Structure 1
Amino acid sequence: MRREEATTRETVRERRERGRKRQRVRRLALLVSFLLFPITIFYFSPVLIIEGALEGVVVASALVFTIQFLLALVVRRAWCGWACAAGALQEFEADAVSKRANLGWRTCIKYVIWVPWVCSIVACAWIAGGFTMVDPLAGIPGGVSMNSPLGLPIYFGIVTLFFVPNLFLGRRAMCHCICWMAPFMVLGEKLGAALHLPQLRIETEPDRCVGCGKCELACPMSLPVECLLQAGTIGDAECIQCAACADACPKDALKLRMGR
């Protein structure tokens, strides 16, 4: 009996250490993404894609959004949890100002923004006679976003947009509310599920849950994880597959897995 208990304790320690390592790797990836943001910011520009559409040019941001959509067929919103510079900024901010986001209807704002924006892209491309050319560096001379002082106001404007509201609305609030990239990934996730593709997901074992609340405290998206885990998987479209909840769970009730 003592030997079995010792083995169990060792297994728990190993699992927790793996979880801590995974989160350190994830946070490091987010940090690198944020440090590169002055170079990459225009590759996610919602404005450049419209300007490109007016000239019939497929620009870098159009390619990036398409890649995000295609990746989401399988990895869902893992980009948001592991590689997004704006998400990184918000998570590091939350370390200092840890306030849960309780946004309700505000999570729909991003779709209210996204639909007319996509319609405007389609309209501009139609006016231009369709997309006739692919130029990833259009509007990004030399491939570096901040290649002149004129780009600094744009950079600091975006940083302010994703930083200041979170002080009042809670952690990663702007991911919920205004992110123009999130709908691409949500649609990709839904299509992947409809096609029965294997997808990255947080699978759950509700019987193991003891209601300690550690998963909800760890969730950077402020999701009600304890309620969601009763379904056998965290199916909320706002889940970013960061596995923070799984790595915080002391009873191994949540696991990051690939499956249908």
Structure 2
Amino acid sequence: MSARKAGTTRQRARRLVLLVSFLQFPVTIFYFSPVLAISGAFEGVVAGCLLVFTLQFLVSLVARRAFCGWLCAAGGLQEIEADVAGKPAKLGWRTRIKYVIWVPWVLTIIAGAWLAGGFSIVDPLYHTTAGMSVANLMGLGIYLGIVALFFIPNLILGRRAMCHCICWMAPFMVLGGKLGRVLRIPQLHIAAESDRCIHCGKCERACPMSLPVEELLCDGAIADAECIQCAACADTCPKDVLKLRLGRMR
């Protein structure tokens, strides 16, 4: 199989997984809930979502933000939307908003656990009905609200804008990725042979995160914290300048 055909197959498989993840969102949404993490902490309960956030951090030591590129239901929704309204996202200072949200949220979880006398119960199915998130009208309302939150702003701000701006899970993976790099753990990343680049711009147009790929590849690897290891840039490169690799980043 040629490299180009293999890349096309990989992207089709990736987007299929994202689509399936989004279709499962009514079942899984509470496992990513920032609200249940807080309410559970005030009750001394380690909710399922808190377990998921911890797992995301640990996996990101190696996989960095691959969850965003390959498994995230909200990411799948945004990539479907990008086929309709796919203008590049406006980045810059907007990528810092998620940290302004994340820090007080995590501090609130810590404060809640402290007031509860610590975590005493681990309940993966916390506030779900037999493991299902959407099992009543309230759950349906929460689901529709989250879908609107990740869908409507992107029409104005560009593709996957909410991944950049508000995602409360992204900082766990960004910090995990940075720690893994400090510890010199082999990581999943996009490696680059910058001297072979012909500056055709296809990689930047393919990037779902609207990153300046041609600028970033000059360092020999795409090390930007907003990169989600989806390999869309590598799979569209006509000269195989970019490749998805597992190893230590330069």
TM-score calculated relative to the size of structure 1 = 0.94
1:33 maps to a residue whose letter is S
User: 2:123 maps to what in 1?
Assistant: 135
User: 1:99 maps to what in 2?
Assistant: 87
1:113 maps to a residue whose letter is I
In the alignment, the residues of structure 1 paired with residue 12 and residue 176 of structure 2 have an alpha-carbon distance, to the nearest angstrom, of: 27
In the alignment, the residues of structure 2 paired with residue 32 and residue 125 of structure 1 have an alpha-carbon distance, to the nearest angstrom, of: 34
Task: Flag structure 1 segments of 5+ consecutive residues without an equivalent.
Answer: 1-12
In the alignment, the residues of structure 2 paired with residue 26 and residue 191 of structure 1 have an alpha-carbon distance, to the nearest angstrom, of: 26
Identity between Structure 1 and Structure 2 (%): 70
The size of the alignment, in residue pairs, is: 248
User: 2:197 maps to what in 1?
Assistant: 209
Structure with more helix by fraction: 1
1:240 maps to a residue whose letter is I
In the alignment, the residues of structure 2 paired with residue 236 and residue 103 of structure 1 have an alpha-carbon distance, to the nearest angstrom, of: 12
Q: Of residues 194, 198, 206 in structure 2, which corresponds to 1:218?
A: 206
Q: Of residues 25, 33, 47 in structure 1, which corresponds to 2:35?
A: 47
Q: Measure how far apart 1:103 and its partner are.
A: 2.1
In the alignment, the residues of structure 1 paired with residue 148 and residue 138 of structure 2 have an alpha-carbon distance, to the nearest angstrom, of: 17
Q: Measure how far apart 1:141 and its partner are.
A: 2.2
In the alignment, the residues of structure 1 paired with residue 86 and residue 119 of structure 2 have an alpha-carbon distance, to the nearest angstrom, of: 45
2:89 is paired with a residue of what secondary structure? coil
Q: Measure how far apart 1:129 and its partner are.
A: 0.3
In the alignment, the residues of structure 2 paired with residue 42 and residue 221 of structure 1 have an alpha-carbon distance, to the nearest angstrom, of: 25
Q: Of residues 208, 215, 218 in structure 2, which corresponds to 1:227?
A: 215
User: 1:175 maps to what in 2?
Assistant: 163
- Within a 5 Å distance, the mapping from 1:27-176 to structure 2 comes to 27-176=15-164
Deviation per CA, 1:50-106, whole angstroms, max 9, x where unpaired?
Answer: 110011010000000000000000000000000000000001100111100122101
Poorly superposed stretches of 4+, deviation over 6 Å:
none
User: 1:4 maps to what in 2?
Assistant: none
2:50 is paired with a residue of what secondary structure? helix
Aligned CA-pair RMSD: 0.7
Task: Flag structure 2 segments of 5+ consecutive residues without an equivalent.
Answer: none
Q: Measure how far apart 1:122 and its partner are.
A: 0.3
In the alignment, the residues of structure 1 paired with residue 138 and residue 218 of structure 2 have an alpha-carbon distance, to the nearest angstrom, of: 51
In the alignment, the residues of structure 2 paired with residue 102 and residue 245 of structure 1 have an alpha-carbon distance, to the nearest angstrom, of: 19
User: 1:6 maps to what in 2?
Assistant: none
1:160 maps to a residue whose letter is A
In the alignment, the residues of structure 2 paired with residue 97 and residue 70 of structure 1 have an alpha-carbon distance, to the nearest angstrom, of: 34
Deviation per CA, 1:155-176, whole angstroms, max 9, x where unpaired?
Answer: 0100000000000000000000
1:98 maps to a residue whose letter is G
User: 1:199 maps to what in 2?
Assistant: 187
Larger radius of gyration, structure 1 or 2?
A: 1
1:259 is the counterpart of 2:247: yes
- Within a 5 Å distance, the mapping from 1:235-246 to structure 2 comes to 235-246=223-234
Q: Of residues 208, 220, 236 in structure 2, which corresponds to 1:248?
A: 236
Q: Measure how far apart 1:225 and its partner are.
A: 0.1
